[in-house]
Structure 1
Amino acid sequence: MTEQTEKIEPEWMKGFVPKPAPTKWERGMASPNPLGRPKGVPDKRTKVTRALMDDAPAVARVVIDAAMEGDMTAAGLVLSRCAPVIKAQAERVQFELNKDAPLAEQARQVMQAVANGEVDPDTGRILIGCLNAVAGIEAVTELEQRIIELEAKEVR
């Protein structure tokens, strides 16, 4: 058996240079379709929405009829579209909070008010969340002031 070491190329392949394999598009690269989708050509979602909108009144009628016949799932769907869900509202509370105390101490005061029954747990959680937000704002303000002071020192 003889080994074939010479590459035999057909005549039509002479001078052919293959194009590099297409790369996956990455952010910042030139668009593979610089002209984009032509204006006025709807995407698939728009086509489906338009098709469904044609039948929407008939579908709504079927659901309403099912609700009127006692289908509780259909009734729930109809009612959820007619009357929005009532959101829970916390009742107003009054208790003493030392505004001059550090935020950690104020959070302890809120927890004590919850423990004493002066504030319900959900309201306590909201109040502590508010204290946390204030702490974040104070931290950003403090950092901003420190940066201003450092930049002023560099200028001198």
Structure 2
Amino acid sequence: MTEAIETPEWLEGWRPAPAAPKSNGAGNPNWHRGMKSPNPAGRPRGIVDKRVKIAQQMLDDAHSIVGVIIEKALEGDASAAALVLSRVLPALRSQSEKVAFPFDASAPVAQQVEQVLAAIADGVVAPDVGKQIIEAIGALASVRATEELEQRIVMLEARQV
């Protein structure tokens, strides 16, 4: 039962456009594989790229630039001092202190999170530390769920054999 598909009036007489010439990917349809190179000698040896020249000039001037910035910092320029210090001293990272609060690790995940939230509300745990603890609880719950699913799959496959 093959039915003839009727062509709508607006499509009658339509023909697809001819295919565009293939390019080398760089967008130049005049270049194709196997074509003789327009520069058979290639790039001459010893020519240094513009970017390399600029980088070399920056390296050559770096010592004097650093000296000027340090002088400005010593004169009291706060932005120059901040720039120098940001490059010399590592950024300080917050280090959380150890916390102790009543926590039952064998409780369900929801109760564990509630215990952390209660500790935050009581002021025993800082909010950022509490957030880290809750994220760790969530990660552990995800790992446990994956392990349980894996065990279930193994048991189901064992039954089918």
TM-score band w.r.t. shorter chain: 0.5 to 0.7
* Counterpart position of 1:87: 93
* Rounded Cα–Cα distance in structure 2 between residues aligned with 1:152 and 1:51: 70
Q: TM-score, normalised by structure 1?
A: 0.67
Deviation of residue 77 (structure 1)?
A: 0.6
* Counterpart position of 1:119: 125
Deviation of residue 111 (structure 1)?
A: 0.1
* Counterpart position of 1:20: 21
Q: Which amino acid is 2:88 matched to? A: C
In structure 1, list runs of 5 or more residues that go unmatched: 1-18, 26-31, 33-40
* Counterpart position of 2:8: none
Deviation of residue 79 (structure 1)?
A: 0.8
Q: Which amino acid is 1:99 matched to? A: A
In structure 2, list runs of 5 or more residues that go unmatched: 1-19, 27-32, 34-46
* Counterpart position of 2:70: 64
Of 106, 110, 134, the residue aligned with 1:100 is 106
- Pairwise CA RMSD: 2.8
Deviations 1:76-135 (A, max 9, x none): 010111211221211211111011101111000000011111111111111101111111
Aligned length: 124
* Counterpart position of 1:37: none
Q: Percent identity?
A: 42
Q: TM-score, normalised by structure 2?
A: 0.65
